[in-house]
Amino acid sequence: MYLRSLTLQNLKLLRDVAISFTRPDGEVRPWTVFVGENGVCKTAILQAIGLAASGCSLGSELADVTSLPDRRQPPTELMLIGAEFTFGQEGHKARQYPGLEKKHSLPPYVRSSIAAKSTWRELVGSSRYVGVEHTQVFDPIREARRTQLPGWFVAGYGTVRTLPRPHSFHADGLSDPLRQRMANLFDQGGLIATGFADVFEPAQAKAYVKLLKQVLLQGNLLPGVVDLELQSHGIVRTRQDLLEAHRFEFNLGGQRVKLPATWLSRGYQGAIAWLADLIGHILLEAGKPVPPERMEGLVLVDELDLHLHPHWQTTLITTLKQVFPKLQFVATTHSAMLLPGLEQEEVFVLRQDDEGNVYVSPAPSTPSFLTGSELLDAFFDRKGKPLKAPSRKPPPPSPEKKPRAASRPAARSKRK
């Protein structure tokens, strides 16, 4: 799935917000990063996207529903989440669209609506195709989640990202992968991460380790790491066997040293954990190896800079863009060092107006053109400049009135 637009009403401090996730030419924007002070609902935006993509049934399992509505409003006031999604062209031919009688040359749009009140225990809502007639299924997102259809991929990662101990996961732990790949964003569980090497069958585990090496090592996402070992289905006789089942090899002053995964720093563990988890879930859903450059889907990451040194941060987004060109990332950060890897249209600033409402502003300038001090001034209000809320903007244009554009660089044929 790819996200095209998001509207939020009465969600915590987000009174009335509309955000477009498309470029000026209509293509889906691969990267969007939100910055802002603590308490301005950055995480809430990621969770709202996750709920809209999951549907009201799965969303009710993930979220603390009573915490979502704006408590400044009367209990009768509705909290509303609206989102519009589309899909990648790569998997379009094989992908199933519940209720769609005729598959067109281009992936459809799907509009999702979620609502709740402060007194409700569950979310209500539905989804529908946009501009497509004669569907048999009223709620395609709910049907796709109920039947666990592949090709509707979304994953979310919160701020607790650590590696599991080797052999701590078992195959029966993958009974609900849809929930597992979103639960961490809602603080409802740890990540499987490198544990996929333990639960996959031998052939699939081998393919997973090979793919993980390609992403982490060849993609240079882990500075200083030159190799990794994930021994799956091995015999564990001692505690040392358990520790050394998952190891990462470093080049330290010309000497190669192998360290157990759980001995690594928080920065390394956090980066490895969500990337290994993401690759594992994509491989699990596809049932076969998928090259990183062909992976499609929506990835939500809270505090992308978590525990990373500033030097590592400066190259992270640029590297992720190169390794995963067809994944759409929506992330948050508190670090100015991440921003130079982004274009001006890819950064949004969250602030509060005089009434306490959070509003979303586009980036004031291109981050890569600014010095460190200028980044802090422009995006993090270091000088304490007065904040002025913009006038209310109209929602993004309806997709029915604009020509369909690709969510990837390659040109696409017109819908028949």
- Provide the pLDDT for residue 406: 44
Residue type, 180: Q
Compute the half-sphere exposure of residue 387: CA atoms within 13 Å on the CB side of its CA: 24
Which residues are paired to 158 by β-bridges? Answer: none
128 and 139 in contact (C-beta within 8 Å)?
Answer: yes
Neighbours of 200 (CB within 10 A): 21
Q: How far is CA 103 from the centre of its chain?
A: 27
Report the topology of domain 1-153+298-304+323-416.
Rossmann fold (3.40.50)
pLDDT tens-digit readout, 374-398 = 888 888 875 434 345 555 455 555 5
Quick: pLDDT tens for 16-68: 999 999 999 999 999 999 999 999 999 999 999 999 999 999 999 999 999 99
> Which H or E run includes 235?
none
CA 213 to mean position of chain CA atoms: 21
Bridge partner list, 225: 250
Note the maximum CA span of the chain: 66
Q: Which pLDDT band, with edges at 50, 70 and 90, does 236 fall under? A: very low
Q: How far is CA 93 from CA 18, 96, 104, 292, in A?
A: 32, 8, 10, 19
Structure confidence at residue 387 (pLDDT): 43
CA-angle at 257, arms to 252 and 260, nearest 5°: 125
The pLDDT value given to residue 416:
40
- Separation between Cα atoms, residue 334 and residue 211, nearest integer Å: 30
Q: Give SS3 for 197.
A: helix
Q: Which has the minimum average pLDDT: 101-115, 168-182, 290-304?
A: 168-182
Transcribe 55-89 into DSSP letters: -HHHHHHHS-GGGSB-TTS-TTSPEEEEEEEE--S
Mean pLDDT of 366-375: 83
Give every CB contact of residue 137 below 8 A, 6+ residues apart in sequence: 98, 99, 143
Question: Average pLDDT in the 5-20 region?
Answer: 97
Q: What does residue 61 show for φ and ψ, rounded to 5 degrees? A: -75, -30
**CA of residue 99 relative to chain centroid, distance:** 26
**d(Cα 32, Cα 30) in Å, to the nearest integer?**
7
Percentage of the chain exceeding pLDDT 70:
86
**pLDDT reported for residue 380:** 80
- Give the residue from 82, 36, 25, 37 showing the smallest Cα distance to 347: 36
| Sequence spans of domains, the chain | 1-153+298-304+323-416, 164-181+189-295
Determine how β-strand 246-252 pairs with β-strand 225-230. antiparallel
pLDDT in tens, 260-309: 888 899 999 999 999 999 999 999 999 999 999 999 999 999 999 999 99
Contact between 302 and 3 (Cβ < 8 Å): no
DSSP state of 216: I
- The strand pairing partners of 28, in sequence order, are 22
b/e 86-100 (16+ beta carbons within 10 angstroms → b): bbbbbbbeebebbbb
CB 291 within 8 A of CB 20: no
